[in-house]
Amino acid sequence: MKFAFSQWRFRIITTLKVPKTGGIPTTKASVVRWLKHEGDSIQPGDPVVELETEKVSYELESPTAGILLKIIASESAEVPVGGPLCQIGQPDSASKE
State the sign of the Cα–Cα–Cα–Cα dihedral 63, 16, 49, 59.
Answer: negative
The residues that bridge with 50 in the sheet, in sequence order, are: 33, 59
pTM of the model: 0.80
Left (φ > 0), alpha (ψ -120 to 50) or beta: where does 66 sit?
A: left
What is the mean pLDDT of the segment spanning 27-56? 95
Any idea which fold 28-89 has?
A: OB fold (Dihydrolipoamide Acetyltransferase, E2P) (2.40.50)
| Percent of the chain predicted with pLDDT > 70 | 79
pLDDT at 97: 46
Position 21 confidence tier, pLDDT thresholds 50, 70, 90:
confident
Domain residues of the chain, as ranges? 28-89
> Distance between CA 80 and CA 83 in Å, rounded?
5
